[in-house]
Structure 1
Amino acid sequence: MDSSLTAKVLTQAMPYIQKYAGETIVVKYGGNAMLNEDLKAAVMSDIVLMQLVGVNVVLVHGGGPEISSMLKRVGIESKFINGMRVTDKETMDIVQQVLAGKVNKSLTQHLNHAGGKAIGLCGLDSNMLMAEKMVTGDDLGYVGEITEVNSEVINDAINDGYVPIIATVAGDYKGNVYNINADIAAAHIASKIGAKKLILMTDIRGLLQDKDDEDSLISVVNVSEVSQLKREGIISGGMIPKIDCCVEAVRQGVSRAHIIDGRIEHSILIELFSDEGIGTMFY
């Protein structure tokens, strides 16, 4: 990139940097961006840059592929119902070890090595995420619904200059531990801490008018339009829970929620600091 183009990019980014300095952005990190090392490095550098220009970042992560890999290694078959992992006691022990241990600490190390300042947390720390057993037509075991977000430890980390990296396991007051969907956890956290934006990283461009045509991206959606889009079948399948998270976050006070394509390097920076943005924005 020549110097004049570099200057143009920085000039375009400046009003957005001013807009988000001092604000908090919650990023749900998952999909291919967690598995591909080049994409992972790009995400880490994006977050470091955001820290450097004064944006507070909270990184919420899942780890489905790593959990499935570990279960296979110990001889436990992964079972899913309607896209949700059936989590018996033995499986929950593995989920907790992988998410709150291996994945969380690896991401913390990556961000620190990239020049950021990160601290690894999970929903059990300081009773951050409290939950109860999810009740559905099928027994999913230790899959939980969040009942309470205690944000003190998150806010303390932010105020001390850290990026909290949060693994989505939660507890109850009886000592049970639950597996929590990371999109849902990110939406609850964003609402509780008064985040300016919620960003969900996925493996598709965003909401598509035609699910088989990635060029049919719908860039902007008012949350009042979502019910109609569901009736028309434009929002269907696995997109429903993700979009429901965005809708709930916006209704609970988050200014904007975004579904962006984590397969694109520096997608977070493109969304935050450029005129064109990326993915689908809900307001």
Structure 2
Amino acid sequence: MGQERFVMKCGGSTLAALPDSFFDDLRGLQEDGYRPVIVHGGGPAISEMLGRLGIESEFVNGLRKTDEATLDVVEMVLAGRINKEIVRRIQSSGAKALGLSGTDGRLIQARPVANADEIGFVGDVTGVNAEIIEGVMAMGYIPVIAPIGIDDSGQRYNINADTAAGAVASQLGVDRMIVVTDVPGILRTIDGEKRVLPSVTTAEIDEMIASGEIYGGMIPKVKSAVQCIQGRVREVVIIGGAEPGAFARAVREGGVGTRIVKS
């Protein structure tokens, strides 16, 4: 009977596509005494809603340029639609979940990023109110957190979900963070065939980003993993959520996906 806590990060579009077996795994883990914390994103759903409302999406170095109108949509989609979809799916499996936004109880405290004049209301995490997360877990619920930040004046910020998950994991002092994606791990071409790297160091990741082997949407995931490891987290595991049983195996015994460790 484990009492292990772990943080899981997942994109909203990835979670929406996950099979019921994934949520059955989550329920089984909770029943066995594991205490998961979920931090989710939702970039594609935000872009879709902005498009429907006629608001243009613009990105600066992979982060969404966020004015007040965009921020309203970000909060509506993340803290409203996606957060509650995840909670409903977890509860349908028989587990217990409670949805939270980072603004609730100042759960995720933030300040503007350095280039705020260029990118708008995008935030860096300055603190995480771990007491709220601990309290929700103590009541037997899985906390499901939408990455919206808030500062002392009450200003909201759009927070990159990978960054938010890393900050939550570090603040809770959990042993491992699991990143659930639509790929089975970090892939490397070996003998003309793409294979999952079972283990990689942070230094090797830097080399693979520099060489272009890691590119696109995987870059913020692995960078946040590296940032997270520099906190209190021992390891980060990147897994594909669609493979039956992979999630539970990654939590219970490892050996699934790509394990990222400090150099």
**Number of the residue aligned with 2:4:** 23
TM alignment of 1:202-221, pairs within 5 A: 202-210=181-189, 215-221=194-200
1-side partners of 2:28 and 2:193: how far apart? 29
Matched residue type, 1:93: D
The structural deviation recorded for 1:272 is 2.4
The structural deviation recorded for 1:64 is 1.5
**Number of the residue aligned with 2:93:** 114
Matched residue type, 1:281: R
The answer as to 2:44 corresponding to 1:35 is no
Identify which of 46, 50, 62 aligns with 1:71. 50
TM alignment of 1:71-110, pairs within 5 A: 71-110=50-89
The answer as to 2:152 corresponding to 1:173 is yes
Q: Tell whether the 8 Å contact from 2:12 to 2:82 is kept in structure 1 after alignment.
A: no
More strand by percentage: 2
The structural deviation recorded for 1:223 is 2.7
**Number of the residue aligned with 1:260:** 239
1-side partners of 2:78 and 2:42: how far apart? 6
Task: Find the residue that maps to 1:97 and give its secondary structure.
Answer: helix
1-side partners of 2:197 and 2:224: how far apart? 17
**Number of the residue aligned with 2:173:** 194
Matched residues, number: 261
1-side partners of 2:88 and 2:164: how far apart? 22
Task: Find the residue that maps to 1:215 and give its secondary structure.
Answer: strand
**Number of the residue aligned with 2:252:** 273
Unaligned runs of 5+ in 2: none
**Number of the residue aligned with 1:146:** 125
1-side partners of 2:9 and 2:125: how far apart? 16
1-side partners of 2:218 and 2:39: how far apart? 19
Q: Tell whether the 8 Å contact from 1:183 to 1:245 is kept in structure 2 after alignment.
A: yes
Matched residue type, 2:94: G
Matched residue type, 1:260: I
The structural deviation recorded for 1:235 is 3.6
The answer as to 2:245 corresponding to 1:245 is no
1:78-109 CA-to-partner distances (Å, cap 9, x unmatched) read: 22223221111001011111111111122112
1-side partners of 2:162 and 2:50: how far apart? 22
1:46-81 CA-to-partner distances (Å, cap 9, x unmatched) read: 211110111000011111122122212222122222
**Number of the residue aligned with 2:260:** 282
Matched residue type, 1:59: I
Range with bigger deviation, 223-232 or 262-271: 223-232
2-side partners of 1:264 and 1:31: how far apart? 17
With normalisation by structure 1, the TM-score equals 0.84
Matched residue type, 1:27: M
Aligned Cα root-mean-square deviation (Å): 2.3
Q: Tell whether the 8 Å contact from 1:205 to 1:214 is kept in structure 2 after alignment.
A: no
Task: Find the residue that maps to 1:210 and give its secondary structure.
Answer: strand
Unaligned runs of 5+ in 1: 1-17
Matched residue type, 2:15: M
Q: Tell whether the 8 Å contact from 2:102 to 2:145 is kept in structure 1 after alignment.
A: yes
1-side partners of 2:59 and 2:169: how far apart? 27
**Number of the residue aligned with 2:105:** 126
The structural deviation recorded for 1:137 is 8.7
Identify which of 20, 39, 57 aligns with 1:60. 39
Percent identical pairs in the alignment equals 38
Q: Tell whether the 8 Å contact from 2:236 to 2:260 is kept in structure 1 after alignment.
A: yes
CA distance 1:198–1:115, shift in 2 (3 Å): same
Task: Find the residue that maps to 1:195 and give its secondary structure.
Answer: coil
With normalisation by structure 2, the TM-score equals 0.90
